[in-house]
Amino acid sequence: MNLPNKLTILRALLVPVFVACLLYIPNEIACGFVTAGVFIITSLTDMLDGKIARKYNLVTNFGKFMDPLADKFMVFAALITITVKMFLYAGNTNDWVFANVMIWATMVVVLRELGVTSIRMVCSGTAAGVIAASMFGKLKTVTQVIAIVVILVEFSLNKGFGLPTYWVASYVLVAAMTFMTIASGIDYLKSYWKYINPNK
């Protein structure tokens, strides 16, 4: 149980803290900015554990397994809770449209992650072994993190300060997140297809 693994576990433990803040902080301004802060701190542990593990040769199979799993906990919880929050606070057509977009984007993320997890499970019993996160997968995670933070900030601006943001920045980042999610999923599928090819 080295430092990188402890940071990974800390990231998983911060997930319910994020959800509780987003659901139960009554002030919209504080809600958006506090949860964005918690999410940024949670995301920084993802960056730190990987760098420390590689720099000091502390890479373990537990870390390869738990690191992407903690990422999934973090992103799933954030996207699902944000979608629920958007519907609860939808006050006009723009809000309702964005809330519906969040449903589809969240579904894409969840299905992709379940697919990649299934590939990891199959490959763990083959010569491929435990699959570490690829660079494409890391870029996908970064895009998801930025999108979630931007949504939370726009929530505070929109609901807390009453600014007509129209969710423009959120739409752009959600589109980028969805694209990277699909592209990285295809990349994993192509890379490890030989282990799941039904014709072999």
> What local confidence, expressed as pLDDT, does residue 191 receive?
82
Asked whether residue 73 is domain-assigned, the answer is yes
Task: Report which of residues 169 and 59 the model is more confident about.
Answer: 169
Model pTM score: 0.89
Q: How far apart are CA 30 and CA 35, in angstroms?
A: 8
The residue with greater pLDDT, 190 or 167, is 167
* Residue 3 identity (one-letter amino acid): L
Tally of domains within the chain: 1
- Residue 200 placed within a domain: no
Q: Is residue 39 part of a domain?
A: yes
140: containing domain: 3-81+92-193
**Tens digit of each residue's pLDDT (9 = 90 or more) over 122-139:** 776 666 556 666 778 888
**Can you tell me the distance from the alpha carbon of 119 to that of 196, in angstroms, rounded to the nearest whole number?**
8
Beta strands in the chain (DSSP E): none
- Residue at 44 is within a domain: yes
Can you give the CATH number for the domain in which 174 is found?
A: 1.20.120.1760
Confidence at residue 130, expressed as pLDDT on a 0 to 100 scale: 61
The winner for highest mean pLDDT among 59-63, 87-91, 132-136 is 87-91
In a domain, 198, yes or no: no
Q: Looking at residue 127, what is its pLDDT?
A: 62
Q: For 162, which DSSP code?
A: -
